[in-house]
Amino acid sequence: MRLLQILFFLLIVRPILFIILGVNIRNKEGLPKKGPAIIVANHNSHLDTLLLMSLFPFYMLHQIRPIAAADYFLRKKWISWFSLNIMNILPLERQKWRKIDQLFAEVYKALAKGEIVILYPEGTRGEPEQLQRYKSGIYHLMKKLNEVPIYPVFIHGFGKALPKGDPVLVPLFVDVFVGEKFFCRNDRKPFMEELNHRMSSLANMGNFSEWD
């Protein structure tokens, strides 16, 4: 499966992202070199996860674990197989568990093994290129993991290249901004304020005009 995963990213994902679309990455060296670590990013397109995984060397792909909704990605056999074996997702049973420890059990295991987890605190794909306020689920996950670094990443361009609900890929240039790592605070409000501030600061670095 690791070989299939590498071939998929080598022969399909990277040519689409870096040749057909084109990606400009700022501060790529700021990405984690090893886990445990959390990557938080804005979410406009299914391509977001493919891009974030492509920022890492091939030998690290099996250590990159995107969190994804189990009710969406495990609903059909072929989607489930691809999601679990090629994308290596951590399926989140959003409706099954009421306790935080149960909800994030697989995430805790992945981090304990030294893996790198991708998380979208917005909770779902938003409107094209509009940065939403993040939900506090990330705080409830991280408050017991204040020694695990969090790396903020802002992605611009996929909201139009392949927006929510649109199956047609539009060849538009994509920008990626990697921020400085930080750690969870004990109190929810200052932590969420810091997270939103860091993401807004990354978004402002591009000085992008609003989408029509």
**Which of the residues in the chain have pLDDT under 70?**
72-74, 94-98, 123-133, 160-171, 208-212
Q: Is residue 171 part of a domain?
A: yes
CA distance 208 to 86: 33
Write out the two tokens for 118.
């991708």
CA dihedral 162, 21, 64, 40 (to 10 degrees): -60
Q: Is residue 17 part of a domain?
A: yes
pLDDT of residue 133: 65
Q: Is residue 147 part of a domain?
A: yes
Nearest to 152 by CA among 97, 185, 199: 199
| Those residues with Cβ within 8 angstroms of residue 100's Cβ, 6 or more apart along the chain or in another chain | 140, 141
Q: Is residue 124 part of a domain?
A: yes
Give the C-alpha distances (Å, rounded to integers) separating 81 from 67, 87, 182.
15, 9, 34
We report the CATH number of the domain holding residue 15 as: 3.40.1130.10
CA dihedral 184, 187, 190, 192 (to 10 degrees): 60
Taking only the tens place, the pLDDT of each residue in 182-192 is 999 888 999 99
pLDDT of residue 15: 93
Which domain does 131 fall in, by range? 2-205
Q: Is residue 211 part of a domain?
A: no
Domain total in the chain? 1
Q: Is residue 102 part of a domain?
A: yes
pLDDT of residue 125: 47
CA distance 71 to 93: 7
Percentage helix, strand, coil for the chain under 3-state DSSP, each rounded to 5: 40, 15, 40
Q: Is residue 210 part of a domain?
A: no
> Coil, helix or strand for 210?
coil
Q: Is residue 212 part of a domain?
A: no
- Predicted TM-score (pTM) of the model is 0.87
H or E stretch at 141: helix 137-142
